[in-house]
């Protein structure tokens, strides 16, 4: 067992007893599944191109080995180009702005020209340890989470710097820019490696004054990863360790929609068809799910 998998097995063991009970009600229907990916960590839906971009770590999540790549996949799960963007180390979360695709890559942010699939620039994040998810606000600013250091970075007007560093972020993983706020899916209070003393929950960070608040009463939910808006005031959220997909309301109410096993990572979302695109990092499978 790799150190990567062992760390998450430990996390599951330590966090499991602290998780709240969730409803068994299911509101998700599997449409398709496609195998053959290499530790797929994140999916981004490009509505304009009708395309999915899938980041493949292809190895250990902190290894600077040049093995990482990004795939292009159609919304019905057919691989268009498996190794579209290459030469990355361990790409994870992604976002688009201004015709560019931005991917978190351990301690740097890669800027990719979507038209050519080439990395045109990289931005170093000094002292970052585990850059994870990426989101873009309406002004084109790019935000990147560093789960290991309780930090959110921002790329604005060509400058990549720390936007917020605060232990109250509790292992920020998933990011979603929504209006004047960042919705943050926290992994939880990390004790060692990826193990958590207290599992995470959804938080809200004001882009104006950087204040941090819990969505709901702060009850631990899980080791949260991807966050997408459902459009009804609720969010579609994945739990990496428990392998679950949740619907979480603005007041923190949780409902389990699907269970895919440990390694359920950063999902993509098509609001027009109500389809979630969910990568399974451990098994190398990408799923399409209709959310009712």
Domains and CATH numbers, the chain: 3-291 (2.120.10.30)
Q: Which residues contact 42 (CB under 8 A, 6 or more apart)?
A: 54, 55, 91, 92, 93, 94, 133, 226, 265, 266, 268, 279
Half-sphere exposure for 237 (CA within 13 Å, toward CB): 33
Residue 232: predicted pLDDT: 86
Task: Give per-residue pLDDT as tens, 158-176.
Answer: 999 999 999 999 999 999 9
| Cα(10)–Cα(23) distance, integer angstroms | 25
| Model confidence at 9: pLDDT above 50 | no
pLDDT for residue 23: 39
Residue 113 has pLDDT above 60, yes or no: yes
Here the tokens at position 137 are 């606000």
Task: State how far the Cα of 266 lies from the Cα of 94, in Å rounded to an integer.
Answer: 9
């Amino acid at each position: 067992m790799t150190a990567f998998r062992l760390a998450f097995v430990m996390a599951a063991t330590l966090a499991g007893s602290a998780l709240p009970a969730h409803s068994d009600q299911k509101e998700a229907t599997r449409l398709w599944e496609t195998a053959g990916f290499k530790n797929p960590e994140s999916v981004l839906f490009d509505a304009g191109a009708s395309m999915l971009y899938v980041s493949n770590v292809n190895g250990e999540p902190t290894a600077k080995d040049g093995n990482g790549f990004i795939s292009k996949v159609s919304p019905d799960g057919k691989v268009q180009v498996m190794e579209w963007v290459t030469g990355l180390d361990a790409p994870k979360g992604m976002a688009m702005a201004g015709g560019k695709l931005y991917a978190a890559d351990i301690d740097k942010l890669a800027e990719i020209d979507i038209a050519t699939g080439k990395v045109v620039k990289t931005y170093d994040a000094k002292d970052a340890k585990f850059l994870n998810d990426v989101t873009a606000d309406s002004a084109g600013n790019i935000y990147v989470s560093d789960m290991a250091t309780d930090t959110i970075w921002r790329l604005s007007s060509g400058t990549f710097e720390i936007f917020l560093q605060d232990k109250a972020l509790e292992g920020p993983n998933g990011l979603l820019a929504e209006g004047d706020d960042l919705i943050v899916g926290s992994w939880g209070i990390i004790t060692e490696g990826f193990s958590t003393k207290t599992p995470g929950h959804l938080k809200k960070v004001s882009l104006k004054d950087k204040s941090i608040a819990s969505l709901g009463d702060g009850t631990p939910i899980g080791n949260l990863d991807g966050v997408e808006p459902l459009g009804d005031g609720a969010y579609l959220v994945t739990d990496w360790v428990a392998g679950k997909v949740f619907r979480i309301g603005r007041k923190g109410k949780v409902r389990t929609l699907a269970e895919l096993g440990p390694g359920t990572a950063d999902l993509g979302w098509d609001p027009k068809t109500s389809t979630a695109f969910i990568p399974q990092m451990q098994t190398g499978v990408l799923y399409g799910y209709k959310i009712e």
